[in-house]
Amino acid sequence: MQRIFSLAGAAIVLATTPVAADLKVGVGKTEITPPAGVRMYGYGARGTNISRGVHDPLFAKAVALSDRDETAAWVTMDLGYADTQLTQGVRAAVATKLGFDNVFLSASHTHSGPSFVDDFPSASDPWVEQLQRKIVDAIAQAHNALQPAQVGVGWGHVNLGHNRRLIRVDGSVEMFWENRDGVPTEPVDKSVAVVAFDTPAGSPIATLVNLAIHPVVLGPDNLNYSADFPGAMMEIVEENGGGQVMFLQGAAGDINPFWDKTPLDEGAYDQMQRMGETIGREVVRVRRLTELSEVQSIALGVDKVHISPRWNLDDPEVRANVRQDYVDRFERENKAEVKILMIGTDLALAAFPGEFFVEHGLRLKQESVVAHTLFVGYSNGHLGYFPTIKAAAEGGYGANSSTIVEVGAGERLVNLALINLGYLSGQLHRTP
């Protein structure tokens, strides 16, 4: 059963908290690697270069969660983004097939994946439609595998990323893409959240890993599909008792790996593997120390709000200076969705539709009334970069270029999430 409220022009759906219900969890997985021959996502420097092959396969992984009243599914994908069209199509298909539409789609934001092209490899059976069918199948697998589960949350630490916006003494911004010496920068979120699901007997079902670093160890000269460092990380954790491992990208909009865009002749694949293994070992360590317990319920909340463009897109001069793919995507997706999954009383995953600067993720975790709150970006839509207000004034890539959302949009969406978390947790009330 659900209750629907309105807040600041947004529809908020709050799931009622069931009495004496038990959490069930299931997982599913499908390979989504397309054929070679499509333009790759992620780097303007690639131009029209097309994919040539596969370094490591791409997957969509689903976890389904259910109590006696609610069922939800979260899907992680080794792709650059999850757009609204794909999200809506999957939700509609799952509703028809399984009877629920509480579905989250999150992309890792790898820059070594395919672009979405409607006529590849053929107009009669494009890969993007195959992708939707495969995601629905993975959700169905997870739903069919539901079983009683325990859940636990642990936190680790890695120092492998840096803030790529270097603020000079005079206040100007220098883009600091590569940082192989690990020069300290700020702000950076070095935390790694580890969510563990096990059977009551202690057998691993799944591990969710949340951190905030762009998956761009591989650079534009790489034309082979790859999940980048998250793929290597997940493989290590799965080999060491993590069950099905799923990567949830955080607020990584201005955070790069130290080895950014590594050329192939400088050991890009080795560096990617090394970074993944370092994170994987930390996840394994944290998971082994994490205490799990029974959880009685899940709850869901969603805000959908209109986002205005920062620029006057009716002005031909402005339009000529904004990337056309950004404009096209924004005009398709100018409603932003912030969707929350509460698991028990102490864990919440909040999904945001784009590339949010790291300060947004830090603030959500610091100000949330829920003890363990995870910021998950690149989810259920893709509206590009969400800089902070301060960064928008300072400038730089993603702050006053290659961004299209109105100034303050990021703060606004984080505020809505914080309020919704208050209601979902029962710490805010509708009546005095």
| DSSP letters spanning 261-295 | TB-GGGTHHHHHHHHHHHHHHHHHHHHHH---EE-
Residue 79 belongs to a domain: yes
Number of domains into which the chain is organized: 1
Question: Phi and psi at residue 133, in whole multiples of 5°?
Answer: -65, -40
- Give the pLDDT of residue 279: 98
Distance, CA of 322 to CA of 407 (rounded, Å): 16
- Give the pLDDT of residue 152: 98
Residue 109 belongs to a domain: yes
- Give the pLDDT of residue 19: 40
Residue 279 belongs to a domain: yes
Distance, CA of 75 to CA of 174 (rounded, Å): 36
Residue 187 belongs to a domain: yes
Q: What is the pLDDT along the chain (432 residues), one digit of tens a residue?
A: 444 443 444 444 444 443 444 899 999 999 999 999 999 999 988 877 899 999 999 999 999 999 989 999 999 999 999 999 999 999 999 999 999 999 999 999 999 999 999 999 999 999 999 999 999 999 999 999 999 999 999 999 999 999 999 999 999 999 999 999 999 999 999 999 999 999 999 999 999 999 999 999 999 999 999 999 999 999 999 999 999 999 999 999 999 999 999 999 999 999 999 999 999 999 999 999 999 999 999 999 999 999 999 999 888 888 888 888 788 888 888 899 999 999 999 999 999 999 999 999 999 999 999 999 999 999 999 999 999 999 999 999 999 999 999 999 999 999 999 999 999 999 999 888
Contacts of 160 (CB under 8 A, 6+ apart): 213, 257, 258, 275, 278, 279
Burial (CB count <10 Å: 0-12, 13-18, 19+), residue 99: exposed
Amino acid occupying residue 303? D
Q: Are 249 and 377 spatial neighbours (Cβ–Cβ below 8 Å)?
A: yes
Contacts of 292 (CB under 8 A, 6+ apart): 150, 151, 152, 196, 197, 198
Residue 162 belongs to a domain: yes
* Domain housing 311: 2-424
Residue 417 belongs to a domain: yes
Residue 285 belongs to a domain: yes
Q: Are 39 and 50 spatial neighbours (Cβ–Cβ below 8 Å)?
A: yes
Q: Where is 228: in which H helix or E strand? A: none
Residue 389 belongs to a domain: yes
